[in-house]
Structure 1
Amino acid sequence: MDEREELLSAACEDNSVSLEELTEQYGPESFGNHEAVDRIYMSEATWSEHISSHPAILLDAEAYEMAVKVSELMAELYNRMVSKD
């Protein structure tokens, strides 16, 4: 069992639901998916405002490039999840 499968199993156990019930609650077009999209948006907005543009990050070219990559990955994740909404 890989890490994702272990976390998925733990999520089922923590919520006292089967995988099918978890899918119904958090799968495509569910409120749970919409909630994840919202959290990704909020995290990316916070990241961009407070990390990517922080003077300490801006002063370090490599750190800035890393911060931009994180923002880009968050945008990709957002777009992937919003397409299921």
Structure 2
Amino acid sequence: MDEREELLAAICEENSASMEDLTEQYGPESFGNHEAVDRIYVTEANWSEHIASHPAILLDAKAYEMAVKISEMMAELYDHLAVKD
């Protein structure tokens, strides 16, 4: 069992839910999926405004490069889940 599967099993156990329950509540076209997309958007906007453009980050070329990669990965995750929304 990989880490993702362990986390899913723990969520099921904590919530007395089955994988089918999770899929219904959080799968494609669900409110839960929409909620995740919204949280990604808010987090990426906050990251870009307050972290990636912070003077301490801008002064450090490597830190800036890393911050931009994180922003890009969040945008990719948003796009991936938004298609299912």
Matches within 5 A, 1:1-85: 1-85=1-85
Superposition deviation, residue 29 in structure 1: 0.2
* Deviation by residue 1:19-42 (Cα, 9 ceiling, x = unmatched): 001100000000000000000000
In structure 2, C-alpha distance between the alignment counterparts of 1:45 and 1:14, rounded to whole Å: 31
TM-score w.r.t. length of structure 1: 0.98
Runs of 4+ more than 6 Å apart: none
In structure 2, C-alpha distance between the alignment counterparts of 1:75 and 1:61, rounded to whole Å: 21
In structure 1, C-alpha distance between the alignment counterparts of 2:70 and 2:62, rounded to whole Å: 13
How many residues align? The count is 85
Paired residue secondary structure (1:7): helix
In structure 1, C-alpha distance between the alignment counterparts of 2:27 and 2:11, rounded to whole Å: 13
Q: Which amino acid aligns with 1:55?
A: P
Superposition deviation, residue 13 in structure 1: 1.3
**What stretches of structure 2 of length at least 5 have no aligned partner?**
none
